[in-house]
């Protein structure tokens, strides 16, 4: 009898820890499955029904989610003037978004209904593989004019952002090949590889066959004296590639670039200060790898100008990679309190021009849906005159093309597959500086 009572008590305690749905209530997974069959009009009506008078809490790596949220609420009020729902948006610091979300999902009371999140490596290993974050792909994204490609839907990407090589052009230094940025004595300004982990993903991706081939091709285009300077490192990295289990024929070029980059870069705290440094008259011959859109905030003066920098990949004849691209992904926690509204908000951001406006209004951010893309090809024009050429964004297709900017594009699955070994290897190099 005692054993039976103990068994029953254990069963009761177990059940008390499991979420109990009211009769007829759908799980978040079931809501998403149904939402993916619905038009925006239908989704927006469901959102109004679900969240009228309530607060949807969102969390993201971009503060602009707050602006997009206000636009979304205004749109719903246009459908139903009596709608009084609101969106409360927060942006955690210091890579804490994963910790915050996991704590919320595991907690007794769930707060966050949706997230805009970056760092494909951690998303794959900590959120997708665990089932903590769920993917939602809007019907109007799949069936509309947009292009639903695998690399933008698994998970669903809101946008691609680019960090590009730039250099101060007031001196004599030349950067006509991506290997010039890892030459001896060159110290590009860059955020630390462990302070913003999308930068570490960039390094992981350099061992991917596509981008390692870009590096090999750029190396082959170097003058013989420059080749000779890099050759010993490349030969050494051929052995390292075997030890790390990298089988691509050009993996040694990727590892050599990583090794030289990690030894050489000048660590900075943020891309804003990097940009503010590079555009000054005192930053002669300095270079950096930073968010392209930072140029929009430069205040022109006698000491600083966008015209003091050159976008490396915009030069005629430039060889190799022009920088890297990472993505912001939109996902829904498996414990989302307002899943219908989360789905509607996500669909609004990725299938409507106004929904993406918070990000699209500036250069360097490219919607995953072509119908939401903004044109920034003439951002450098003032009164019809091309005044700041570096600000004339050549656009997403050019930047990712093998015939254009050759950005190294983050692939969550690939990053996760190599991060265990490469992460420690990179940390050892950085630690040895």
In a domain, 153, yes or no: yes
In which element (H, E) is residue 289 found?
strand 287-291
Residue range 341-361, pLDDT digits in tens: 999 999 999 999 999 999 999
Q: Could you tell me the pLDDT band of residue 11, with boundaries at 50, 70 and 90?
A: very low
Q: Evaluate if residue 17 carries a pLDDT over 50.
A: no
Instruction: Name the pLDDT band for 169 (thresholds 50, 70, 90).
Output: very high
Give pLDDT tens digits for 238-275: 999 999 989 889 999 999 999 999 999 999 999 999 99
Both 264 and 368 in a single domain? Answer: no
Asked if pLDDT for residue 179 goes beyond 80, the answer is yes
pLDDT, one tens digit per residue, over 61-77 is 999 999 999 999 999 99
Q: Are residues 179 and 207 in the same domain?
A: yes
Residue 270 lies in a domain: yes
pLDDT(19) > 60: no
- The pLDDT of residue 147 is 52
- SS3 of 158, please? strand
pLDDT in tens, 383-409: 999 999 999 999 999 999 999 999 999
Both tokens assigned to 40: 């925006």
Q: Is residue 275 domain-shared with residue 417, that is, in the same domain?
A: yes
> Is it the case that residue 195 has pLDDT exceeding 90?
no
Q: In the prediction, which pLDDT does 151 show?
A: 61
Judgement on whether residues 207 and 257 belong to the same structural domain of the protein: yes
Q: How far apart are CA 358 and CA 58, in angstroms?
A: 15
CA dihedral 231, 236, 242, 244 (to 10 degrees): -110
Using alpha carbons, select from 159, 209, 152 the residue that is nearest to residue 418: 209
Looking at the fold, whether 41 and 115 belong to one and the same domain comes out as yes
Q: Is residue 21 part of a domain?
A: no
What pLDDT score does 21 carry? 43
Q: Within a 10 A sphere around the Cβ of 420, how many other Cβ atoms?
A: 9
Q: What is the CATH number of the domain that holds 122?
A: 3.40.190.10
Q: Does position 37 have pLDDT exceeding 60, yes or no?
A: yes
What 8-state DSSP symbol labels residue 274? H
Q: What long-range pairs does 63-66 form, CB within 8 A, spacing at least 24?
A: 63/89, 63/91, 64/358, 64/359, 65/89, 65/91, 65/116, 65/358
pLDDT tens, position by position, 272-309 = 999 999 999 999 999 999 999 999 999 999 999 999 99
Tell whether 151 and 204 lie within a shared domain.
no
- As a whole number, the mean pLDDT across the chain is 91
The DSSP secondary-structure symbol of 127 reads: I
* Distance between CA atoms of residues 138 and 348, nearest Å: 9
CB of 76 closer than 8 Å to CB of 85: yes
pLDDT at 86 over 50: yes
Domain annotation covers residue 109: yes
Mean pLDDT of 39-62: 97
| Domain around 361 | 28-158+327-372
Closest by Cα among 276, 258, 267, 271 to 168 = 276
169 and 313 fall within a common domain: yes
Q: Are residues 51 and 179 in the same domain?
A: no
- Per cent of the chain over pLDDT 90 is 82
Number of domains in the chain: 2
Residue 231 lies in a domain: yes
Average pLDDT over residues 178-192: 96
SS3 248: coil
Let me know if residue 180 belongs to a domain.
yes
Can you give the pTM of this predicted structure?
0.88
Binning pLDDT at 50, 70 and 90, where does residue 119 land? very high
83 and 170 fall within a common domain: no
* Span 309-334, average pLDDT: 97
Q: Is the pLDDT of residue 9 over 60?
A: no
Q: How far apart are CA 158 and CA 113, in angstroms?
A: 17
Q: Are residues 82 and 123 in the same domain?
A: yes
> Are 64 and 126 found together in one domain?
yes
Which pLDDT value is given to residue 209?
A: 96
Q: 14 or 298, which is more confident?
A: 298
Classify residue 228: in a domain, yes or no. Answer: yes
pLDDT of residue 149: 54
Name the nearest CA neighbour of 350 among 94, 85, 153: 153
Q: What is the pLDDT of residue 145?
A: 60
pLDDT digits (tens, 9 = 90+) for 151-163: 688 899 999 999 9
In a domain, residue 151? The reply is yes
Q: How many CA atoms lie within 13 A of 101 on its CB side?
A: 34
Q: Are residues 191 and 319 in the same domain?
A: yes
Task: Return the closest-CA partner of residue 357 out of 159, 146, 140, 108.
Answer: 159
Say what the pLDDT of residue 116 is: 97
How far is residue 201's CA from residue 324's CA, in Å, rounded to a whole number? 9
Q: Are residues 287 and 165 in contact, defined by beta-carbon separation less than 8 angstroms?
A: yes
* Runs of H (alpha helix) within 52-119: 65-79, 97-106
Does 176 have pLDDT greater than 80?
yes
> Residue 116, CB half-sphere, CA atoms under 13 Å: how many?
26
């Amino acid at each position: 009898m005692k054993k039976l009572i103990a068994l029953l008590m254990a069963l009761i305690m177990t059940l008390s820890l499991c979420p109990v749905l009211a009769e007829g209530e759908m799980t978040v997974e079931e809501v998403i499955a149904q939402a993916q069959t619905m038009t925006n009009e239908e989704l927006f009506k469901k959102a109004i029904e679900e969240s009228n008078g309530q607060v949807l809490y969102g969390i993201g790596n971009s503060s602009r989610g707050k602006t997009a949220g206000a636009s979304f609420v205004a749109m719903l009020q246009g459908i139903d003037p009596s709608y009084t729902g609101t969106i409360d948006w927060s942006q955690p610091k210091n890579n804490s978004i994963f910790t915050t979300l996991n704590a919320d999902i595991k907690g007794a009371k769930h707060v966050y209904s949706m997230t805009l999140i970056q760092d494909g490596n951690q998303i794959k290993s900590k959120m997708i593989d665990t089932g903590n974050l769920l993917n939602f792909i809007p019907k109007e994204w799949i069936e509309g004019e947009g292009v639903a490609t695998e690399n933008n839907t698994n998970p669903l990407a809101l946008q691609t952002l680019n960090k590009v090589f730039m250099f101060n052009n007031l001196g004599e230094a030349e950067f006509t090949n991506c290997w010039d940025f890892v030459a001896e004595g060159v110290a590009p300004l860059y955020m630390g590889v462990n302070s913003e982990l999308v930068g570490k993903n960039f390094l992981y991706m350099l061992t991917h066959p596509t981008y390692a081939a870009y590096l090999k091709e750029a190396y082959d285009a170097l003058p013989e004296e420059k080749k000779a300077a890099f050759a010993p490192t490349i030969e050494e990295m051929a052995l390292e590639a075997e030890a790390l289990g990298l089988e691509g024929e050009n993996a040694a070029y990727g590892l050599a670039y990583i090794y030289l980059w990690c030894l050489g870069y000048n660590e900075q705290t943020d891309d804003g200060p990097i940009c503010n440094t590079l555009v000054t008259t005192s930053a002669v011959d300095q270079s950096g790898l930073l968010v392209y859109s930072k140029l929009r905030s430069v205040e022109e003066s006698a000491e600083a100008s966008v015209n003091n920098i050159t976008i490396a990949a915009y030069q005629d004849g430039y060889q190799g990679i022009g920088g890297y691209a990472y993505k912001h992904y939109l996902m829904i926690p498996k414990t989302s309190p307002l899943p219908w509204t989360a789905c509607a908000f996500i669909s609004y951001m990725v299938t409507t021009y106004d929904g993406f406006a918070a990000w699209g209004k500036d250069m360097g951010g490219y919607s995953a849906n072509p119908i939401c893309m903004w044109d920034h090809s003439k951002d450098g024009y003032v009164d019809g005159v091309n005044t700041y050429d570096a600000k004339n964004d050549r656009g997403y297709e050019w930047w990712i093309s093998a015939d254009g900017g050759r950005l190294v594009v983050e692939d969550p699955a690939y990053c996760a597959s190599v991060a265990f070994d490469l992460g420690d290897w990179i940390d050892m190099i950085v630690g040895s500086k």
